[in-house]
Amino acid sequence: MKYWMTCALSLLITVGACLMMFILKYHVIDKEDELKAIHAQIREDSRAIHMLEAEWATRNDPDRLAKLITSETAWQPLAAGQIQSEEDLPVKAAPVPRSKPQFNPDPEVQP
């Protein structure tokens, strides 16, 4: 009787281990599929970022922007006579205080 119990228990453990391996195998396959989908999304996003950077570079071209500004607005580039040096700017004097501030080193003594 004891021999049959050992065989049955061994068979049960073996079937349980096979079942767990089967389940684990399909969990791994599902995770691999998820990983492939994530990698595909990363590649797609990478391509989209590359395209956006290329579009930004063409739209941000200084020559193109200068042409757009002059054609769409009344703005014109600065002439040499419009630029002044720092020495040519007027200097604003600091305001003169009305009275000299009093300093009292001893707060106990009132003036």
* DSSP alpha helix (H) spans, 60-109: 62-72
Give the helix ranges, DSSP H, for the chain: 2-59, 62-72
Is a pLDDT exceeding 90 seen at residue 85? no
Q: Which letter, b or e, does each residue of 39-54 get, where b requires 16 or more Cβ atoms within 10 Å of its Cβ?
A: eeeeeeeeeeeeeeee
Task: Report the mean per-residue pLDDT for the chain.
Answer: 88
Q: 42 or 3: which carries more pLDDT confidence?
A: 42
Whether the predicted pLDDT of 24 surpasses 80? yes
pLDDT of 39-82, one tens digit each? 999 999 999 999 999 999 999 999 998 888 888 888 877 888 88
